[in-house]
Amino acid sequence: MKEQGEGRMLVEEFEFYRKVRSYYCNVSFKLTFTYRFSHRHLKTATAKGSFSCGVNAHTQTVEYMMQLKSDSIERPHTESNSFLFSSVYEEIPPQVIEFVNYPILKLRYRVPIAYDWQEFIVKGAESAINNNTMQSLFKKWRINGTGGEAVEAKFKVTKVEFDW
């Protein structure tokens, strides 16, 4: 009797694996962000991305992988002088922010899968890909100036939208 229950759970887990791979492969999303263009001026840009889920039965985890590519961003060298302060904004030659096959989340699942697995996957994606997590990723991204030096762009992720 015990072996029958374990066999049913294996079939259930295989079905879960198959459905997750087919339903949540290349789910697209879009994010909007701003960056410092000049004194008191932010420029808006977008990035298009997608994520895919895989199931690792050995560790009982769902693994989320992300792809993301932004619009080209650029900024001319500018200086701002006022009575109280002066600001210099280094040039940013045209470049994109791009993440390829980036592991964004590993989420443990329970067996038997007697719960709403689609809601489980959606909540996982929304906890992994949101304004805060994308803001953290953008902070880690290095923007280069004309001489290859790091330039601060003051990224701010303002919106993330999924295409469910």
Whether the link from the prior residue into 112 is cis, omega within 30° of 0, is: yes
For residues 42-51, b (16+ Cβ closer than 10 Å) or e, as one string? eeebebebbb
State the virtual CA torsion across 127, 130, 133, 138 in degrees, nearest 10: 160
Distance CA 72, CA 94 (A): 6
pLDDT at position 4? 52
Average pLDDT across the chain, whole number: 90
Which of 28-32, 79-83, 84-88, 141-145 shows the lowest per-residue confidence on average (mean pLDDT)?
A: 79-83
Q: Which amino acid is at 79?
A: E
The domain locations on the chain are: 19-162
**Averaged pLDDT for residues 37-41:** 85
Q: Which of 39, 32, 28, 20 is nearest to 70 (CA)?
A: 32
Reported as a single tens digit per residue, the pLDDT across 134-150 is 999 999 999 999 999 99
